Structure formats: C-alpha cells, structure tokens
Amino acid sequence: MHDPIRIVSKLSLGVLCAVLAFMGDSTFVQEATAQESLAQKRPDAWYPRTEKVGPDEMFVVALGTGMPTPITRAQKSSAWYVELGNGDIFLFDIGSGSVENLFALRPEFHRVDKVFASHLHTDHVGDAAALWVGGWLSGRYTPLHIYGPSGAKPELGTATFVEGLRKTYAWDVTGRAGILPDAGGQLVAHEFDFKQDNGVVYEKNGARITSFPAVHVLDGPVSYRLEWNGLSFVFGGDSAPNKWFIERAKDADFVIHECFYTPKGLEEALGFPPRQATFVSSYIHTPPSGFGKIMSEVKPRLAIAYHTIRQPELDQQILDEIRTTYDGPLAIANDLMAWTITKDTIVQREVVSAERVQAPPTTPGYKDAKRSGEASYSDFTNNGKWKGYTPPPLPER
C-alpha cells in the first residue's frame, strides 16, 4: 500500500507527473521527480473537525463522484465541497446520496448555505431537499441559496425547480414552524442565463464565481470557475467536450471534468446496446480519450476525472484511454477524497469519518435566531390525543 499523501507542486509542472487514485485508499503514483515539500506534509488522512483551513488555502472534498445508478455506500452522485481560507463554503452540485458524505465531514452548517448546480438531473441536484431541511436542523439559521441556470423554457430552469421543492415540502417546512429558526426554512433561487459566457454569478468576500455553457442533453447545463486569493477551481458537471470549457478552464489550479465510460465499458457496466452506448458515452458525455484531450488543452496543475461507477475491471480501461491523449497530473476521484490547495502545493488525502456521525454543535446564532408561529392541530386531531399521557409543561419562550 502506498502513502496516500502526494503533493503536486509548481516545481513539477515542467515534468511528467501522473497521479491516479484507485479504489479504497490505495494510490498508485508515477512521478518523474521526487521533489516534495515536506514542510507542507500533513497527517496521512483528513479527520473531521481536527484542523482548520489555512488563511491562504482552498480545501476540496469529493462528496459524490458517481452516477444516477447505482448509488452505493462507496459512491454517491455528483457533489463537491469547497472551503476557502476566508471561511466561505460552496457546494458544486448536490446529487442523490451526497448529503450523507457531507454530514461525514461534520461541517459548521451555518456556513453551508450555497449550492451551485450544473444542471437539474437528479444525480446533480437530487439531495437539494435533504440539504435544505437537514442543514436547517443541524445549525443553519439563514436561507439556503441555490444558484443555477435557466432552461430553454421557464419550466426547465432553476427557479422553477426551487419553487417545486417549496411546494413539494410545504408540509415538512410548515410543520417545523416555531421549532426551528424562521430564516433557515427559506429556499432562495438565483437563476442566471445559461447562455452567458464568463458571466459573474457570485462575488463576495474576495471570491468570484463565473459560469459558462456546457453541452448535455438539453439547453441549460453550465460549468463554473471559482477564483479566490490567486487560486482557481473549475467544476464541470455533465458535458460533451465543448469550446467554452477549453477557454475558461485554461491554466486553472484544480480542474474537475467528467470522464465517462468508454462505449465498451458502458456496454459491460450497464448492458447498453452498442449504438446507445456510443451515443451516451461520446455525444452527451465525455469518454476518457475526450477527457484527456480537454486536459491537454487546459493544462491544469491537477486534472480531476469523475462521473463513472468505479469498478476495478474498468479502471485500467479508463486510464489507458486517458493516457492516449493526456500525460499530465491526474487523479480519478473517489468519494471522500480530499485536496488542500495552495499556490505552491496540492496535497491529496482521504477523509476518515465514523460510520455513524452526529451534526456538530450548533452556534449561539442558531440558538438565538428568531422562531415564530407554531404548528397546530385541528379539533379533530386534538381530540385524538390519548388522555392517558400528560406531556411536561412547556418552558416560557
């Protein structure tokens, strides 16, 4: 078993450097140089709530790297956690099952209040409601903000998606009135034009996020670039190779792009017929050789491949295809893989968390936040209460 810590530094950009992270905690590394900054060496794993993000650091965790099916204990759908040294936290996508891995980090939930959706497939936004209500219960006392693109028609855009969540969970949210902070139950949509190229969708506290179009199934999908403190993070949801990503991701520090199955791999993994396998893998997604071509153009400090079901028998097939078109720094992401990024180094580790976790302690701001109204029953339901049980008296407000 190899040391799970690997540092990709600016010193090694001019040499051949490849980092491939396989399943579990095994890491296979090929490097043309042994230069590593021992001063930046950290514990071999990242343990929740044991260290803080440094003032000049960016911390990234893969919360979900997989597909809509299957969602397993080992792999959830697309979601990425980014924490900056200024205290800001951003989520890029929040796909089905990913909130389980978010809770494994035990973050301060009052700071987890911003989601940037690449598009509205369930494997990219399917846990939005779980984050909305679960985060509210766990310490968030301000609204949850969901940023995302418009669609070809209003009903296909982010604003309609968010309004649908409000209607779907009206009973849930109404029933928590007076118990949880009022503002924490609010869900706010920030919809922007999917056609904008390099348009600013968020700018605050020195962090700037821009969006640019992607090519996937219908009009609407986008990718994002986050810039802060001289560091750059690029996130692509689902997309066929496109000109916007090539242009806007160039020379970024940390670049995430989907790396789908090969057509043959899709036939083997999900039993698709050859035509459909080729169409899905290479026309609406990006196969490994396409991923490699993109990264050869972009030239990031570290390229991150994701969005496939990790199977040992397919890993080598994917790697071999990538390496036909790209020989730069690379990691194929697993869930709960983490990176600390500075201007000099990128340190890769694994998150180690308990199987059963509790949300972290709430803050005074959460305890003191305004709570108004109170859920009530009709006479019909009140008359159904059992007279053999008397609850304790309620304390004064």
The pLDDT, as a whole number, for residue 1 is 32
Q: How is 187-228 classified by DSSP, letter by letter? A: EEEEEE-TT-SSEEEEEETTEEEEEEE--BSBS--EEEEEEE
The confidence score (pLDDT) of residue 24 equals: 36
Q: In what order do the strands lie in the sheet with 199-204?
A: 199-204, 207-213, 222-228, 231-236, 254-258, 302-306, 330-332
Give the pTM: 0.89
The pLDDT value recorded for residue 6 is: 54
CB 307 within 8 A of CB 66: yes
Domains and CATH numbers, the chain: 6-375 (3.60.15.10)
* The pLDDT of residue 213: 98
Task: Encode 208-241: b = buried (16+ Cβ within 10 Å), e = exposed.
Answer: ebbbbbbbbbeebbbbbbbbbbebbbbbbbbbbb
H-helix or E-strand spanning residue 140: none
Tokens representing residue 218 in the block? 């219908």
Each of the 397 residues of the chain gets a pLDDT tens digit; together they read 333 335 444 333 333 333 443 333 333 333 333 334 433 567 889 999 999 999 999 999 999 999 888 788 899 999 999 999 999 999 999 999 999 999 999 999 999 999 999 999 999 999 999 999 999 999 999 999 999 999 999 999 999 999 999 999 999 999 999 999 999 999 999 999 999 999 999 999 999 999 999 999 999 999 999 999 999 999 999 999 999 999 999 999 999 999 988 888 888 878 899 999 899 888 999 999 999 999 999 999 999 999 988 888 788 888 999 999 999 999 999 999 999 999 999 999 999 998 888 888 999 999 999 999 988 999 999 999 999 999 999 888 7
pLDDT score of 261 = 84
Return the pLDDT at 313: 78
